Amino acid sequence: MAPLELDAAIVSSLVNIRYLTGFSGSNALLLVTHTEATLLTDPRYTIQAKAETAETGIKAVIAKGSLEEALTPRLSKLRRIGFENNRVSYRTWEHLQRNLPLNAGLRPLGGVIEQRRMVKSAGEIAAIRESVRINSQAFAAALTRFRAGMSETDFAAEIEHQMRLLGAEKPSFDTIVAFRERSALPHASPGCTRLDGNGLLLVDMGTFRGGYASDMTRCIHLGKPGAKTRSLYRAVLEAQLAGLDAVAPGASAEDIDSATRRVLRKHGLAKAFIHSAGHGLGLEIHEAPRLGRGEKTILRAGMAITVEPGAYIEGAGGVRIEDTVLVTANGVEVLTPTSKELVIL
């Protein structure tokens, strides 16, 4: 907090609290001063808060009423108090503001904790590796259980069950299983469409394991793909490989996006690529940095990101290929072990 010239910081984002303290409950505030850290939570978490913060020296306080009210007396000798302006609701800010001691002021923390979270520790990288491994294993296991005539929802259920059996806590986002023209909807929810006959099938899936996210997209083709589909697939694969090639410490986040976009433009697919090329991930499925146009963040060794260009043709279908990767001292390590050949079923 010294460079921010703060006496204290109030952390209200649960994921940032988990990052800083290890506490994983659903209701908490964290007050950090120069000398101590105090975690406030409610009586449901008395036992859990004690257990999860045991090794950190953080003081866990159980509040009977609202956490904001329990916080107020603890602010009495503080003047410059940081708050998470990008996380706190306007109403919570008002509440904090109203209960400040005389002479004290709230100062924006910005995304200072999120910035710090971008570069992962060895322990975090190990957790992400494990999450990625389980996710790819679940995909392989679900493929062996694929049956023509299943619905999109059935196949998504099978994928998520395999994740769970392999030790995932839960999917890191709603699994996408999208067949034929529905694959052109980059965020399609699985529906009752039957996976039968000939067509392109897009699967985007991720797990949380040990609290850490993984993320992967692969395409499957039921029956023999036509020439158009093959060339669409090859173009996106070329773009994805170009994106991976561009990942290195010192590159900017937008460089990765440009590298993928350049390839798709060459194939006449510039307008078909309607999202950014990737994102950081960790305790959240979407974290900084975003790999998109205008994003100047410089990649550093230890960052975990996705590289996921796609091309979507309304009424026909879409292709996306996505790996979870690690920025290393020398360039990139692709964590996702799953083959990027178009799977033919």
Residues that bind a second copy (CB under 8 A): 24-26, 42-48, 83, 85-94, 108, 153-154, 156-157, 160-161, 164-165, 167, 169-171, 174, 184-189, 274-275, 314
Nearer to a second copy, 106 or 301 (CB): 106
3-state SS string for 100-157 = CCCCCEEEECCCHHHHHHHECCHHHHHHHHHHHHHHHHHHHHHHHCCCCCCEHHHHHH
CB 327 to a second copy: min, Å: 25
Kind of pairing, strands 199-205 and 212-213?
unpaired
In whole angstroms, the minimum distance from the beta carbon of 274 to a second copy comes to 4
Question: Look-up: residue for tokens 């409610």?
Answer: 42
Provide, rounded to whole angstroms, the least separation between the CB of residue 136 and a second copy.
Answer: 18
Least separation, in Å, of the C-beta of 330 and a second copy? Answer: 33
Q: For a second copy, give the closer residue by CB, 160 or 254.
A: 160
Structure tokens at 49: 């808060």
Q: Are 236 and 243 in contact (CB under 8 A)?
A: no
Element (H, E) at 257: helix 253-266
Report how far apart, in Å, the C-alpha atoms of 52 and of each of 46, 57, 169 are: 10, 11, 17
Residue 117's CB: how many other CB atoms inside 10 A? Answer: 22
How many CB atoms sit inside 10 A of residue 140's CB? 12
Q: Indicate the residue among 56 and 92 with the shorter CB distance to a second copy.
A: 92
Q: How far apart are CA 311 and CA 164, in angstroms?
A: 31
- DSSP SS3 for 55: coil
Most distant CA pair in the chain: distance in Å? 73
- The CB-of-144 to a second copy minimum distance in angstroms stands at 16
Tell me the HSE value of 38 on the side-chain side, using a 13 A CA sphere: 19
The distance of closest approach from Cβ of residue 329 to a second copy in the complex, given in angstroms and rounded to an integer, is 34
Q: Which is nearer to a second copy, 95 or 300 (CB)?
A: 95
DSSP at 277? S
Please, what is the minimum distance in Å from the beta carbon of residue 342 to a second copy?
22
When the beta carbons of 125 and 272 are compared against a second copy, the nearer one is: 272
Which of residues 186 and 302 has its CB atom nearest to a second copy in the complex?
186
Q: Which two tokens stand for residue 39?
A: 């975690």
Measured from the CB atom, the residue of 171 and 335 that comes closer to a second copy is: 171
Please, what is the minimum distance in Å from the beta carbon of residue 333 to a second copy?
Answer: 28
Dist. CA 140–CA 222, nearest whole Å: 16
Residue whose CB is less far from a second copy, 154 or 255: 154
